[in-house]
Structures are given as C-alpha cells and as structure tokens.
C-alpha cells in the first residue's frame, strides 16, 4: 500500500485539529507542480515541522487541482487552516516570490475524512528522515521503512475509530474481524467526500465548463447536487453537475432539470411566472454539452428521477 508523508505547517495543523472538518485543503503556495504521489483514497500523513518532528494525523487523498486563492477560500473557507480570507492570503503571499500578485493560483491537495491524533499519540520521526525534505515523501508498505511507519499508524486506528464512534461520527477506516486471515491489518474503505472535495471534483470532471451553457468563467460556475445533500443526496460525482450560477439557482428551484437522456428541460413556468426566460429557453431540448469522461461519473438516473419527481415544476 502506498502512502505519503507530507510536511505540514504546525499552525495549519493546530487550527484544523480544533475544528475537526470533514475535509481540508492542504495547499501549496507555489501552484506550479501537479501532485501525483497518490491516487484517490490513499493515505496522506501529516508530518509536523520542527521542533515537533512527529506524525500528527492522517487524511485521505481526494484530488489535486489549481485554484485562484479567492476560489480556494470560497470552496474551503476555514478548512484552509485559518479564520479569514485576509489571513489566508497573507499566509500564502509570505511564501511566494511574486508577492504583488493580487489573486495568485495555488496548488490544492484535497484531503477528506482527516483524523488528528492527540498529542500523546503523535508518532516521532526516526533519524532516517532527511531534514532537507521540503514537501514530503512517498512510502510503500512493501518496503521496510514504509512498513515500519504504517505499523505505528495502524496501532492508533482502533483508538481513533472508537473515539469517532463515541462522538457520533463516521470513520473511513474499517478493521477486519478477528479470525480473518488479515486480522490486525486495517484496510481503507473509500472515504466519504466532504463538501469542498465534492465541489473540486465536479468542477474538474466537467472541465470547468457549465454543462448546459458552456460558460467557462470559473467564479460563476457552481457544483450542483442533483438530489440535495440535505435530502439524502450524497457528495458523489454521479450526483453532481457543473452549472452557471443562475442556471444552478433555477435547477435547485425546479425551473430547469436534466432528463434521463441527459438533455436540458426548461419549465414553461419561467415565462408564466416571470414573463421572461428567453435566455434559458435557448437550451431547452439540447444535450448537456459537457459531462465527465468516465461513464460512472455521469449523472445517475436515480438522482435524475428524484429531481424530476420532487423538484422540477414541469
């Protein structure tokens, strides 16, 4: 099994450990290099900087993307590791050479279902860790060094799982039952996506273009749930679609829907109720222009049917 040990800002870690978010943005101030060390669901360990020099927690890789800092704040808010956008911007600019740039793009490593260990459970890093490592290092449990680290993390997982259950929270870590051939070796279930991870995945899966109109101005694009999260709709790509903000609002209020054939349907009630709608009727009956390449990530018929039955005004 692969995992990554990422060098973690201590103040970022301390702040997030107090608010226990569903996902976090492990941001990179430079915003120039793709993060390719992990695939979705693989563990990302938090290596705290000197003088702590310890593993303080774990998250699960969802995706990597590049976002202007205002969009990163809009999507993740304080899950970026601070209280305000001004503080967030200052944290980034002090680490960049081009400090005069108003809204630079940054790298965003999106981690879901983070777990923050209690200080007494922090895992000390051995002398083998090279102090010149700036960003992090990949490991494999098939190798001695990776196996040694993961075994120590593994011993903490039952305690973390029990703590989350007592707090009424789900955990993405499942332990094998005693007696099974792999007893004592935790395996990782696909972690639940948080709201921020969902928005990033939908935005990138739709190639940053409104599925209905083709609009590609990023600040006005929004990840819409087909079946709302508040009504048992999951944070899943198959329950999402990227829409321009005004079309999103009409979709959520039932004036626009998606058909099982993945076409746009616009309600006649826009004209009846608002004596307008020319902008939107041009899309009626047309195929959605942009959809995810992976068929499994396209809108699921079950969610489409729910939206048409429960939301669309017809």
| Pair of tokens at residue 22 | 């569903």
| Segment among 43-57, 103-117, 184-198, 234-248 with least mean pLDDT | 184-198
Residues 255-276: tens digit of each pLDDT: 999 999 999 999 999 999 998 8
Domain boundary among 157, 188, 219: 188
Q: How far is CA 186 from the centre of its chain?
A: 23
- Residue 193 covered by a domain: no
* Same domain assignment for residues 159 and 253: no
- Residue 100 covered by a domain: yes
- Residue 200 covered by a domain: no
- Residue 194 covered by a domain: no
Residues 194-232: tens digit of each pLDDT: 999 999 999 999 999 999 999 999 999 999 999 999 999
* Same domain assignment for residues 151 and 288: no
Pairwise CA distance, residues 86 & 53, whole Å = 29
- Residue 199 covered by a domain: no
- Residue 201 covered by a domain: no
* Same domain assignment for residues 287 and 174: no
Domain assignment of residue 260, given as a range: 206-310
Contact 262, 287 (CB under 8 A): yes
Pairwise CA distance, residues 215 & 263, whole Å = 17
Domain boundary among 153, 188, 223: 188
- Residue 140 covered by a domain: yes
Give the pLDDT confidence score for residue 165 in this predicted structure.
38
The torsion of the CA quartet 294, 233, 108, 297, rounded to 10 degrees, works out to 0
* Same domain assignment for residues 274 and 131: no
* Same domain assignment for residues 227 and 155: no
* Same domain assignment for residues 142 and 284: no
Model confidence at 54: pLDDT above 80: yes
- Residue 59 covered by a domain: yes
Nearest to 139 by CA among 42, 26, 33, 40: 42
* Same domain assignment for residues 181 and 214: no
What mean pLDDT comes out for the span 270-285? 94
- CATH code of the domain containing 26: 2.30.130.30
Residues 61-96: tens digit of each pLDDT: 999 999 999 999 999 999 999 999 999 999 999 988
* Same domain assignment for residues 25 and 143: yes
pTM: 0.88
Nearest to 191 by CA among 173, 179, 203, 178: 173
Model confidence at 180: pLDDT above 60: no
Pairwise CA distance, residues 297 & 29, whole Å = 30
Overall domain count for the chain: 2
What mean pLDDT comes out for the span 31-42? 89
**Higher local confidence (pLDDT), 309 or 160:** 309
Tell me if residue 6 falls in helix, strand or coil.
strand
């Amino acid at each position: 099994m692969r995992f990554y040990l990422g060098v973690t800002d201590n103040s970022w870690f301390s702040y997030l450990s107090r608010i226990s978010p569903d996902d976090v943005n492990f941001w990179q101030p430079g915003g120039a290099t793709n993060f390719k060390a992990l695939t979705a669901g693989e563990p990302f360990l938090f290596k705290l900087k000197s003088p702590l020099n310890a593993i303080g927690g774990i998250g699960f890789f969802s995706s990597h993307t590049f976002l202007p800092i205002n969009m990163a704040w809009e999507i993740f808010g304080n899950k970026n590791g601070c209280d305000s956008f001004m503080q967030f911007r200052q944290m980034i600019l002090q680490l960049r050479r081009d400090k005069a740039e108003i809204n630079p793009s940054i790298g965003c490593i999106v981690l879901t279902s983070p777990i923050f260990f209690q200080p007494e459970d922090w895992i000390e890093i051995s002398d083998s860790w090279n102090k010149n490592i700036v960003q992090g290092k990949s490991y494999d449990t098939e190798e001695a060094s990776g196996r040694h680290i993961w075994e120590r993390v593994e011993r903490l997982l039952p305690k973390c799982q029990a703590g989350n259950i007592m707090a009424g929270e789900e955990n993405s870590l499942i332990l094998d039952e005693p007696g099974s051939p792999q007893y004592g070796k935790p395996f990782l279930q696909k972690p639940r996506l948080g709201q921020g991870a969902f928005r990033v995945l939908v935005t990138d899966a739709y190639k940053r273009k409104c599925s209905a109109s083709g609009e590609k101005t990023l600040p006005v694009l929004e990840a819409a749930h087909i079946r709302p999260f508040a009504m048992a709709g999951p944070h899943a790509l198959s329950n999402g679609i990227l829409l321009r903000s005004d079309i999103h609002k009409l979709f959520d209020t039932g004036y626009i829907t998606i058909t099982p054939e993945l076409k746009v349907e616009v309600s006649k009630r826009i004209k009846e109720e608002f004596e307008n709608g020319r902008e939107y009727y041009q899309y009626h009956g047309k195929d959605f222009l942009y959809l995810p390449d992976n068929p499994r990530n396209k809108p699921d018929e079950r969610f489409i049917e729910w939206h048409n039955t429960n939301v669309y005004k017809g």
